[in-house]
Amino acid sequence: MGLSAHAVPSVRSGALTQSYTWASPIPDACVSGTGSKRVPCVLGVDEAGRGPVLGPLVYGVAFCPLDRQEDLRDVGFADSKALTPERRDELLQALLHHDQIGWAVRVMAPQDISAGMLRRHPNNLNEQSCDATVMLIQGVLNAGVDITHIYVDTVGDPKAYAAKLKRSFPRYQHIEWTVARKADATYPVVGAASIAAKVTRDYCIERWLYAERHFGPHSLGKRKHMDENSEETEDPSSVWQTGSGYPGDPKTVQYLKGTLDPVFGWAGIVRFSWATAKSMLEEPVRSSASTPTASMLGTPCPPSTRAYTVRWMDEAPPPRAQATLQGFFTKKAPPARGLSTSATASNEAPRSQPLPPVWQEDRNMLQEKRPEMWHRWALTSCSAADLF
């Protein structure tokens, strides 16, 4: 991509570890007038990066006065996937400098996508996509823009998705919804949203900053470390070339296999919840001279699979799970040296007095709730950066 670091304001500096929303200033042409004389506007919604196993999923919206839709067509907004990167860069500049177009993006971090999909009660990708769409539209409405028509590139069945979106905006019954497949190639305002989403995602991927500091610059290929003061290094190895990010890309598969740690998994760029990633963790391997014995972090590799089996505490039989918890929190004092067993026993501390009834009730309740508390803590969202 030919854009400079400051030419894509929707991309934040630093490592992407959590989702965020960015919005352009609201054009004066979209908020002029008051009451019934407000300017009616049209809005389009599209996304980029729904299928890849790497990087964020980005949703974009674009909006303009209703009578200026054809201006967008004259500019050349269309399906971003059908355009060259150079042409997409030009159209993003048109978005930035057009005085009657506003736009916004929701950058959904891979860590948040995976955390939602891997919950015990999963929040699947369709639900997360709908939430991002509703959030962006609501932000435009809250800014005072009178949206009268919304075009959306569908997620799933168009009729069902349109009905679901309508239910999310009960106060705006006047809005007319058009939910269709390939809407970015049909409606120019959706094409503008597609450009905003696609360029933002491409910029995030191409200039990805790793938050995991144990991936030192000496072991990485064409990438920058989170510390912007460190020099960027070049490595002839291609293991750090992520490819397109789609599961069928050989470079992407090589990246996943080469950067996998058998305990910590991958860096934050990978969506752990994708079937490709989950199956690779359990993929059987045959030991040979070329099979690595340790990951780049120094973790010993298991002999049979690519990663060690992970289980929730409540998946083990109750006595074993309880013993594991008690053993983890109970510190046993070592026996005193030079004393016999009988001498040690004679010096034991006296037994504690029974707890008062009220305290005993609280203690019993805590013991009953302990598995549930641990289960909730285990589901708390975190990134690989929190572990390294």
223: which 2 tokens? 């990438």
Which pLDDT does position 145 carry in this prediction? 95
Look-up of token digits 């990951």: 295
Residue 177, pLDDT > 80, answer yes
Which pLDDT does position 142 carry in this prediction? 95
User: Please, what are the domains in the chain?
Assistant: 20-206 (3.30.420.10), 223-326 (no CATH)
The reply, when asked if residue 71 is annotated as ligand binding, is no
Per residue in 91-125, pLDDT (tens digit) is 999 999 988 999 999 999 999 999 999 888 899 99
Which pLDDT does position 388 carry in this prediction? 46
The reply, when asked if residue 46 is annotated as ligand binding, is yes
Look-up of token digits 């975190």: 382
Please, what's the b/e burial string for 110-135 (b: 16 or more CB within 10 A of its CB; e: otherwise)? bbbbbbbbeeeeeeebeebbbbbbbb
The reply, when asked if residue 74 is annotated as ligand binding, is no
- Choose the most confident range, by mean pLDDT, from 54-68, 75-89, 315-329, 356-370: 54-68
Residue pair 147/63 in contact by the 8 Å Cβ criterion: yes
Average pLDDT score over the chain: 80
Residue 321, pLDDT > 80, answer no
| Nearest-angstrom CA–CA distance, 91 and 81 | 13
Per residue in 295-305, pLDDT (tens digit) is 877 888 888 88
DSSP annotation of 347: T
Which pLDDT does position 229 carry in this prediction? 42
Residue 84, pLDDT > 80, answer yes
Residue pair 203/69 in contact by the 8 Å Cβ criterion: no
Residue 308, pLDDT > 90, answer no
Which pLDDT does position 39 carry in this prediction? 92
| N-term to C-term CA, the chain | 31
Measured CA to CA in angstroms, residue 116 lies from 16, 137, 158, 198 at distances of: 17, 22, 24, 23
Per residue in 223-239, pLDDT (tens digit) is 343 344 444 444 445 67
| Nearest-angstrom CA–CA distance, 196 and 216 | 32
Per residue in 339-388, pLDDT (tens digit) is 444 444 445 545 555 655 655 666 676 667 666 666 665 655 555 555 44
